[in-house]
Amino acid sequence: QVQLVESGGGLVRAGDSLRLSCAASLGSFISYKMGWFRQAPGKEREFVAAIGWSAGATYYADSLKERCTISRSAKNTVYLQINSLKPEDTAVYFCAAGYRVLSGNPEDYDYWGQGTQVTVSS
């Protein structure tokens, strides 16, 4: 069973913080990488952050690294903390899993969740 289920999105106010969660379950045990992407209305999919199999291996989009923290638990749950939310953060946020490399390229990911909507009001 392949399962990537995002949660934690919703309607928030500018300046608020959110922690998104992704519960990941793949059919076999692999040293996979996890990433977060987002897609806003009228824009292409944008990389946010990624985390590797080993602890300490993280990668952030330059524009978001000051406000975002990615982490993962031993239960294959990955988190994305976003601070000081802005209206331009409004997007559907997707969790993804990949076998290949720690990457910000969506083509390097094999499995995707359905996404969770984050709407930031001004």
Strands 10-13 and 18-25: unpaired
Helix, strand, or coil (residue 68): strand
Single-letter code of the amino acid located at 24? A
Q: What is the per-residue pLDDT for 26? A: 72
Kindly list the distances between the CA atom of residue 96 and the CA atoms of 14, 87, 110, 117, 120, in Å, as whole numbers in the listed order. 26, 24, 7, 15, 22
Structure-block tokens of residue 55:
């602890």
Question: pLDDT tens for residues 23-60?
Answer: 988 766 567 889 999 999 999 999 999 998 766 789 99
Q: What is the per-residue pLDDT for 73? A: 85
**Beta bridge partners of residue 121, listed in sequence order:** 13
SS3 letters for 5-65?
Answer: EEECCEEEECCCCEEEEEEEECCCCCCCEEEEEEECCCCCCEEEEEECCCCCCEEECCCCC
Question: pLDDT tens for residues 51-108?
Answer: 987 667 899 999 999 999 999 887 678 999 999 999 999 999 999 998 878 889 999 9
